[in-house]
Homo-oligomer: A and B are copies of this chain.
Amino acid sequence: MSALTGLELRSTITAGGELRLELEEVTVPDPGPDEVVIQVEAAPINPSDLGLLIGPADLSTMHGSGTPDRPVITAEVPTKRLAAVAARLDQSLAVGNEGAGTVVAAGVNATHLLGKQVGAMGLAMYAEYCVVPASGCSVLPDGATAADGAAMFVNPLTALSMIETMRSEGHTAIVHTAAASTLGQMLLRVCLADGIDLVAIVRSPEQVALLREAGATHVLDSTAEDFDEALADAITTTGATIAFDAIGGGTLAGQILHAMEVGINRRGDGTYSRYGSDAKKQVYIYGGLDLGPTVLTRTFGMSWSCGGWLLMPFLAAAGPQVEQRLRQRVVDELTTLFASDYAHRITLTEALQPEVLAKYVRKQTGEKYLIVPPG
């Protein structure tokens, strides 16, 4: 098995303020006893990948170079943004949180996976080969393709973990922002399947229509004039007291907490005092579509919390049994509830063409990209 080599997409930000993306030919290490080597056949470009891929670079300065087989993209990173990425400076980092492919080599304890198509969260899957722990692989169900299994971790487990969090913290309905995202549509499908009320907040009438067509009952356009009133009404109807917010910046988190307080008081849940209702109101910020400050106008009593939420710490805290249960559900319903649609399939070399990169960094609804190695 030695001497297997393959291309890997690498991202470097230099202390001098340059982002450099390139393909590197690497020797694939032999798998350890509990590891496998996956020949990657499909890896999605998720918003969570873009943070590592391009960092805080100014893409208006993007420049393509290299050769057709080994394209290189460079761009400037403004000096004042370097402090935020101090821990990664001058390191060549592999990219690609998740993907799917065929197991082409396996350690002694993982031979049962040889030749199987699996999905995995390999963290370096924008590559021809990726070494991962066998325990991190999910064997694809019969009939599923690598494209079907490429995104079976980040979005599906996030949607299911949001619901787990809701239940474990005693809430019964969810508010979700940027709800027309791939994740948002998936969360909607799971909520519909599981009978959980969802209040979906989007940012355009088109996105409202999209989610209504997908079966959503409570869809609100945060740019509408009557948004606050409509949000309070939807929260009153559903009793939602937990929100997952992908936006982060601005006043939205506080508006949601305020609408929850209105809803709780209208429903007569909780006990009113001059400190506000005693029912717990929670907003979890799990993304940063708006990197500006979170502005909370505290009109929602004292029983509230706003904080960060991430999938991996949640799963680590929930424990392996919960993670296994959620992963099994994803396998069981991979091509239904957890299906992902890709508008574009690109190779590793195409991913490093400036005009292609300029498109996939836009993260537009309905414009999802799948990387299909080899280069």
In the complex, A70 has a CB within 8 A of chain B? no
Q: From B249, B274, B297, B309, give the contact of A293 (CB < 8 A).
A: B297
Q: Which of A259-305 contact B (CB under 8 A)?
A: 265, 272, 274-275, 278, 285-286, 288, 291, 293-299, 301-305
Q: Is A78 an interface residue (CB 8 A)?
A: no
The one of B274, B275, B313 in contact with A278, judged by C-beta atoms closer than 8 angstroms, is: B313
Does A51 lie within 8 Å of B308, measured CB to CB? no
Is A17 close to B, CB under 8 A?
Answer: no
Q: Is the CB of A305 within 8 A of B303?
A: no
**A307 at interface, CB cutoff 8 A:** yes
**A356 at interface (Cβ–Cβ under 8 A)?**
no
For A278, the closest partner residue in chain B by CB is B313
Among B88, B272, B275, B291, which residue has its beta carbon within 8 angstroms of that of A274? B88
Asked if A307 and B310 make an inter-chain contact with CB atoms under 8 angstroms apart, the answer reads: no
Copies of this chain: 2
Q: Which residues of B contact A305 (CB under 8 A)?
A: 305-308
Interface hub of A299, A308, A313 (most chain B Cβ within 10 A): A308
Most B-side CB within 10 Å, residue of A52, A254, A310 = A310
The reply on A375 being an interface residue by CB < 8 A is no
Contact B298 A295 (CB under 8 A): no
Task: Please tell me if the beta carbons of B304 and A307 are within 8 angstroms of each other in the complex.
Answer: yes
8 A Cβ contacts from A112-134 to B: none
Find chain B residues with CB under 8 A from A101 CB.
Answer: none
Q: With the chains together, A84 CA to B258 CA distance in Å?
A: 12
Q: How many residues of A contact B (CB 8 A)?
A: 36
Question: Is A308 touching B297 in the complex (CB atoms < 8 A)?
Answer: no
Q: Which of chain B's residues have a CB closer than 8 A to the CB of A286?
A: 302
**Smallest CB-CB separation from A282: which chain B residue?**
B307
Asked if A239 is an interface residue, CB under 8 A from chain B, the answer is no
Please give, as numbers and ranges, the residues of chain B lying within 8 Å of A248 by CB-CB distance: 298
How close is A92's CB to chain B, nearest CB, in angstroms?
Answer: 15
Q: List 30 A-B contacts (CB under 8 A).
A: A51-B274, A84-B299, A85-B274, A87-B265, A87-B272, A87-B274, A248-B298, A285-B298, A285-B302, A286-B302, A288-B298, A291-B298, A293-B295, A293-B298, A294-B295, A294-B296, A294-B298, A295-B295, A298-B308, A301-B308, A302-B308, A302-B310, A303-B308, A303-B313, A304-B307, A305-B305, A305-B306, A306-B306, A306-B307, A307-B307
Other than A285-B302, A293-B296, give 5 A-B pairs with Cβ distance below 8 A.
A288-B298, A295-B295, A296-B296, A296-B306, A305-B306
